[in-house]
Amino acid sequence: MSANSATGNTAPVKHMRIDNRLIHGQVTVTWVGSIGATRLIVANDDVANDDFQRMLLPQAARGVATSVLSVDDTVAHCLGPDAENETIMIIAKFADDALRIVQGGVRPAEVNVGNQAPRPGTKFTMVTRSISVTAEEAETYRAIAAVGFDLQCKMMPTDRGENFLRLLEKKKL
């Protein structure tokens, strides 16, 4: 049973990827096709307020309908009537964006921790070759899991997912 049907939420969010690279070839070539996404939503308040990124990101999506929204607008869209005929993939820039989305009531069928490059000036640990995590972010990932999600970590849809909380434990985060 998906998280959507388990909670009665019928929002058509097939996948949420936490990836601070946002839209790139991996997303548009493999993930979109694999899950059958008809709409990409980039969710981050700062990106949504940046005119240049709002113009550029849909162009990077290679023809896939794309919205660049604040976290609150992402929740409103996914739970609203306009989303009923869409198959949505959300790309949350950071873990705290993803947490706010699930706390807002959106229940993606899958939550995947993609790429997280280190943020300058933070004390981080590399959990995988492509995912850095601070102690604060580790708590945010745990909070996402506490909402009821099995956080997975995989780069490509065909990869075998790894339990992200176990990876955090191995790194003592």
Q: Catalytic positions, please?
A: 24
Interior/surface letters 119-136, b for 16+ CB within 10 angstroms, e for the rest: eeeeebbebbeebbbbee
pLDDT 10s per residue in the chain (173 long)? 234 333 444 458 999 999 999 998 878 889 999 999 999 999 999 999 999 999 999 999 888 999 999 999 999 999 999 898 999 999 999 999 999 999 999 999 999 999 999 999 999 999 999 999 999 999 999 999 999 999 999 999 999 999 999 999 999 99
**Average model confidence (pLDDT) for the chain?**
91
What domains, with CATH codes, occur in the chain?
Answer: 10-170 (3.40.35.10)
